[in-house]
A and B are shown apart, each in its own frame.
Chain A
Amino acid sequence: MLSDAEMLRYSRHLLLEDVGELGQKDLKDGKVLIIGMGGLGSPAAMYLAGAGVGSLVLSDFDCLEVSNLQRQIGYQTGDIGADKVELMKHRLEMINPEIRVRSINVEMDEAQLLMELMMVNLVLDCTDNMDSRQMINAACVKAKVPLIVGAAIRLEGQLMFFDNRQADSACYHCLFPNSEEQTLNCSNSGVLGPVVGTIGTMQALEAIKHIVGLPSGVKNRLKLFDGKTLDWQTFVINKDPNCTVCGQNR
């Protein structure tokens, strides 16, 4: 049962046939790990907090820098130098005191990540580098935890959803197998705030849909967003039977 305060807070969800009181209770029971509290993680975490996802775990090990503020909308100029996860935890608790927020202020190794995955039912990859993305993917495949991946650079965004509970799910490594290769990130290529914000917002939307049991348009799909034309392209990601992370010979 939802309390009167919750009924009021989530009234716009309760009006939706696709959410309703049952969906709101699913959100309250939801446990989501969000890794990376930058331009993707800011809107993703704030939307999930507002939506009433009952347990949010935030992970990042950076301090806020002035160059972050152009896109990382959860923070303020006076916050510069403070730990991002602590700032965001406080921000989320201000948005919605009905939820529980926990912060992880270290760079997780695989062992710690696998332990954290036992306590959540969904992961959002909001990180800014390929090594982290490959490690998070491998851990989520191993732990069979669904993973929503977002990435953005310049005026382009990428969005993917791998439901690792399903044996036929592809994985990030099927798509981008070579992690040692040079890839683009925000500090070497630049990015527009609303582009990375769009992708982070889409990660939150897919997370809410997943938790309330709505079908996803991005499972085993890659969505490419072009910020110049506002076009989305959709590609089917086929599971690679030879994938060293999720394939038969792993």
Chain B
Amino acid sequence: MNVIVNESPVEIAENSTVEQLLNHLDKPLKGCALAVNQSIISRSKWSEYKLREGDQISLFQAIAGG
């Protein structure tokens, strides 16, 4: 199935979890937060949250500056 990650299409296996998507992307995830369709998914839910066709995933880093 296809999902959108930060505006780019990504093809992943049916019923993939957030964690499986992140493993597939092979991106450094330090200090990152993740949202599916504009709703933040807590890190403690990444291993169980199942993605669906067309989901819009936003990955962004914590910023600390001020």
A contact set with B: CB distance below 8 Å: 36, 38-41, 125-130, 133, 150-153, 156-158, 174-178, 181-186, 189, 191, 196, 199-200, 222, 224, 233-238, 240, 242-243
Contacts and interface: CB of A to CB of B under 8 A. Distances in A.
Contacts of A175: 33, 40, 62
Interface string B24-53: 000000110101001111111100000000
A236 B31 CA distance: 18
A184 B40 contact: no
Interface residues of B, number: 20
A240 B38 contact: no
A95 B64 CA distance: 29
A176 B33 contact: yes
6 contacts: A129-B64, A130-B64, A151-B64, A176-B62, A235-B38, A240-B43
Interface of B is mostly: mixed
Contacts of A174: 40, 42
Given A240-B42, A243-B42, A156 B63 contact: yes
Contact of A184 (B38, B44, B64): B64
Given A236-B38, A237-B40, A243-B42, A182 B31 contact: yes
Contacts of B64: 127-130, 133, 151, 153, 183-185
A222 B61 CA distance: 12
A222 B40 contact: yes
Of the candidates A38, A153, A185, A235, the one having the most CB atoms from chain B within 10 angstroms of its own CB is: A235
A196 B39 contact: no
Contact of A238 (B39, B60, B61, B62): B39
